[in-house]
Amino acid sequence: MAILADFKAEKPTWCPGCGDFGVLNALQRASVELGLDPEEMVVVSGIGCSGKLSAYFGSYGLHSIHGRSLPTAQGVKLANRELTVLAAGGDGDGFGIGLGHFIHAMRRNIDITYLVMDNHIYGLTTGQTSPTSDAGMITKTAPTGAVEEPVHPLHLALVTGCGFVAQGFSGDIVQLATIVKRAIAHKGFSFVNIFSPCVTYNKQNTYEFYKSHVKKVEDDPTYDAGNRFAALERVTEANALLTGVLYEGDRVTFEDGHAKYSTKGLATQEHTLSDDDYVKLLADFR
């Protein structure tokens, strides 16, 4: 059985205090607690400070290009459905340049987990407005305040039919690890949005802000995570400042929806055609 040390790799270069440490930490704990083998796991990340996660986590990794972690991760999973596959990235990566893939990954429902380190800012490129920057937020590219309506990732996930929608906070690693565990265990596409403060470029969405504003759904006995529309209402009422598993439901995965798709990982098999196969295949052309 793998221990915590097995899920550690390169030493992170994030700014001290960066929320992404908490995400890494929670993912490591979740993996240990699920009894996963780091070499049966792949983390595909995008580009951004958040995208470095794959290098710091002890599994196989693919540090892809900006906004494309989801298609790449789906490709990995289709190549070998026996692997545990995660995609990870930032709010710019996932809700800006890569937003289209997010919607399609949810409706496609391939069994992977998507972690977004949502710091409401472009960290790696040193502080430009992000698609989740709050209206009015002042950044280098919006010196008089952001004018556009932010993207609402939880709402998008809920209305797109995503089978697992959750939100965590890097300041609460215990809760986040529990959420990530459930997300990985969920069969189908699972989405975890994570408030992961950028201590360097976002002075607005800070640890203190989240600590005093965020409510956990676990603490609310009336919260029903099995009801998509109720979840939509509650998320809206709370201005999306809720954490926990917000919705979980059953949906047929893309893999299972394709009845003939090999139940064994394709990558673990040899793929050659026999003489009989050719006779059959070429008959169409005679």
Partner 1 sequence: MTKELGWKVGGEQGAGIDSTGEIFAWTMHRLGYYVFAYRHFMSRIKGGHTNYKIRVADEMISHHGDELHLLVAFDQETVSVNWHEMVDGGVVISDGPMKAVDDRPVHLYEIPLTSLAKEAGSAIMKNMVAVGVTAAIIGLRPEDFLTVIEDRFAKKGQEIVDSNLNAVRKGYDYYNEHFTTRLTLPVAPPLSPNHLYISGNEAIALGALAAGCRVLAQYPITPATEVMYSLVKYLPEYGGIVVQAEDEISAVNMAIGANYGGTRSMTCTSGPGFSLMMEALGLAGMSETPLVIVDVQRSGPSTGLPTKTEQSDLYEALYGSHGEFPRIVLAPTTVEECFSYMVEAFNLAEKYQCPVIVASDLYMGMSKGSSDLLDPGIVKIERGKIVTEDQLQGVVRGQFRRYEVTEDGISPRAIPGQKGGRFIALGNEHDELGFEMEDQTMRRLQMDKRARKLAAFAELEGVAAVGTYDAELTLIGFGSTKGVIREAQEALLAQGLHVTHVQLSVLAPFPTDSLRPFVQGARALLVVEVNSQGQLASQIKLHLGCHDKIESCLKYDGDPLLVSEIVKRAKEVMTVGNPS
Ligand X SMILES: Cc1ncc(C[n+]2csc(CCOP(=O)(O)OP(=O)(O)O)c2C)c(N)n1
Under the rule (CB under 5 A), what is the footprint of Mg ion?
Answer: 90-91, 119
Closest CA to 88 of 110, 57, 109: 57
Report residue 75 as tokens.
């490709």
Closest CA to 20 of 151, 141, 143, 168: 168
Regarding 123 and contact with ligand X (CB under 6 A), the answer is yes
Block residue for tokens 């893999």: 255
Q: Calculate the CA 91 to chain-centre distance.
A: 10
Residues 130-169: x where in contact with ligand X by CB under 6 A, - otherwise, as a string:
x---------------------------------------
Q: Yes or no: say if 245 and 225 are a contact pair by the CB < 8 Å rule.
A: yes
Of positions 48, 58, 153, 171, contacts ligand X by CB under 6 A: 48
Q: Yes or no: say if 12 and 21 are a contact pair by the CB < 8 Å rule.
A: yes
Region class of 48: left (phi > 0), else alpha (psi between -120 and 50), else beta: left
Of positions 199, 230, 238, 241, contacts ligand SF4 by CB under 6 A: 199
Shortest CB 206 distance to partner 1, Å? 28
Compute the distance between CA of residue 125 and CA of residue 122 in angstroms, rounded to an integer: 6
Q: Using CB under 6 A, which residues numbered 8 to 47 contact ligand SF4? A: 14-15, 18, 20
DSSP assignment letter at 170: T
Q: Using CB under 8 A, which residues numbered 33 to 92 contact partner 1? A: 38-42, 44, 47, 52, 54-55, 58-65, 68, 70-80, 82-83
Q: Cα dihedral sign for 106, 168, 226, 232?
A: negative
Count the residues of the shown chain that bind partner 1, applying the rule CB under 8 A: 61
Compute the distance between CA of residue 247 and CA of residue 223 in angstroms, rounded to an integer: 10
Nearer to ligand X, 93 or 172 (CB): 93
Residues in contact with ligand SF4 by the rule CB under 6 A: 14-15, 18, 20, 49, 119, 123, 198-201
Residues in contact with ligand X by the rule CB under 6 A: 47-50, 66, 89-93, 117, 119, 121-125, 130
Residues in contact with partner 1 by the rule CB under 8 A: 6, 9-10, 38-42, 44, 47, 52, 54-55, 58-65, 68, 70-80, 82-83, 100-101, 103-104, 108, 254, 258, 260-262, 264-273, 275, 278, 281-282, 285-286
